Amino acid sequence: MLLCLHEQILHMQIKNNQIFVPEFIQNLEPYRPGKSIDLEHYNKYKAIICSNENNLGPSPLAMSAIKNEVSKIHFYPDPQGEKLVEKLAKIHQRNANEIILSNGLDGLLYTVFKAFSLPGDNVISSEFSFVAFNKFSKMNNVELRLTPMTREYKFDLQEILKSIDDRTRIIYICNPNNPTGTSINETTLKDFLNKVPKSILVILDEAYYEFGKNADSNFPDTIQMKYNNVISLRTLSKIYGLAGLRIGYGIADEYIISALKKVKLVFNPNSLAQVGALAALDDFEHLKKTLDNNKYWISEISIALKQKGIFYIESYANFITVIFPSIEEASSFNSFMDSAGVLLRKLDGFGMPNAIRISIGNSDEMKFFLMVLTTCPIYL
């Protein structure tokens, strides 16, 4: 039936001298980012706290390493990123052949579908989680199963187990989760991983791992768990402040990594990203500053929200999500903040139209946010 429809579209497009675009591609929506990339538009805002970036800026060590590398960008980058892989192997105490670099964590999610799924398969994630995974499933004509969250806005791992069938290829878990900020503890996670059939790849998206670990010293590190069917994904876009460079990595059993290497674009990540990442991983001062800033403001903002009577979800990441009783209240809060110069992220695109995500920015931005929050008339 699906094939028939494809053939009908194909014939129609050929008849009209059009390039054939498969129906499932036509049905995709382009990604809507949290903010416009127009810099002039930025000037309107005193706090841009919408995309979970590190607003303390990039690591100074990374910036100077990148400057030194710029004169060499007429050369292709090392396609294996050997130096960076070696460094990550040392940091995580894993073998170099268990590591793959990528053009952001996003780039690895994209590659995982290419390597491990076929149209007609299914993949499982949860509602209210990172939507890029959902989009990649649609892009690959793979059925997406979204399970409900618990009442505490956590991944419901029992529901995920119930959704598995013999066409399930991939399960996606985000810990801490974007956009709810919730975490899964080590016992719960291990219990779940022990129950998942070993033929299913489990993705652990740990984009916010460092913040989770700083909030709870027992926060699970799946890189050290060594399940053969788990891939742990990390990024330098968040705590390391390198979102614009596009660099992330995955760690898994060599069997998984070698399949991914076969389908990855050859010269990524680029050379500036590779040297920037190498330097940023050594910048412990910048790391500590970022973690301290985050912990301090997560606590201050939580207190202020509580005083204001706004419901928020306890966060293990670098953002806090607030939930309003209605979509209208969320919209008016967002509009008020926006016109006062605070850019936040409304979570309609994540299936949470009555929720807004507040990223932790630098001190000036957070002080400004707090000042605007106290003047917000809706909750006085």
Ligand X SMILES: Cc1ncc(COP(=O)(O)O)c(C=O)c1O
Q: Which is nearer to ligand X, 207 or 256 (CB)?
A: 207
Is there a contact between 108 and 130 (Cβ–Cβ < 8 Å)?
no
Q: Which is nearer to ligand X, 193 or 245 (CB)?
A: 245
Distances, alpha carbon 23 to alpha carbons 114, 135, 145, 183, in Å = 19, 15, 20, 37
Find the part of the chain contacting ligand X (CB under 6 A) among 35-43, 102-110, 164-172, 348-356. 102-110
Chain residues 128-187 in contact with ligand X, contact rule CB under 6 A: 130, 174, 178
Minimum CB separation of residue 17 from ligand X in Å reads 38
Query: Applying CB under 6 A, which of residues 65, 105, 171, 230 lies at the interface with ligand X?
Result: 105
Query: Applying CB under 6 A, which of residues 212, 241, 248, 276 lies at the interface with ligand X?
Result: 248
Rama region for 203: left / alpha / beta (φ>0; ψ in -120 to 50; rest): beta
Query: Applying CB under 6 A, which of residues 69, 98, 121, 205 lies at the interface with ligand X?
Result: 205
Query: Applying CB under 6 A, which of residues 243, 327, 340, 376 lies at the interface with ligand X?
Result: 243
| Token pair listed for 311 | 């419901």
Count CB-CB contacts under 10 A for residue 340.
17
b/e map 125-158, b = 16+ CB within 10 Å: bbbbbbbbbbbbbeebbbebbbbebeeebbbbbe
Residues that contact ligand X, how many (by CB under 6 A): 13
Is there a contact between 320 and 298 (Cβ–Cβ < 8 Å)?
yes
Q: Which is nearer to ligand X, 287 or 373 (CB)?
A: 287
Query: Applying CB under 6 A, which of residues 126, 235, 293, 362 lies at the interface with ligand X?
Result: 235
Residue nearest to ligand X (CB): 104
Q: Which of 263, 232, 233, 262 is nearest to 248 (CA)?
A: 233
**Angle made by CA atoms 285, 314, 248, in degrees to the nearest 5:** 45
Site string for ligand X, 35-64 (x = CB under 6 A): -----------------x------------
Rounded Cα distance, 238 and 223, in Å: 18
Q: Does 104 bind ligand X (CB under 6 A)?
A: yes
Burial of 163 per CB tally in 10 Å (0-12, 13-18, 19+): middle
Phi and psi at residue 250, to the nearest 5°: -125, 145
Minimum CB separation of residue 350 from ligand X in Å reads 10
Query: Applying CB under 6 A, which of residues 106, 121, 210, 365 lies at the interface with ligand X?
Result: 106
Query: Applying CB under 6 A, which of residues 123, 146, 203, 207 lies at the interface with ligand X?
Result: 207
Find the part of the chain contacting ligand X (CB under 6 A) among 14-22, 235-243, 250-258, 262-270. 235-243
Q: Which is nearer to ligand X, 59 or 373 (CB)?
A: 59
Hey, what amino acid is at 19?
A: I
Count CB-CB contacts under 10 A for residue 266.
9
Minimum CB separation of residue 306 from ligand X in Å reads 25
Residues that bind ligand X (CB under 6 A): 52, 104-106, 130, 174, 178, 205, 207, 235, 237, 243, 248
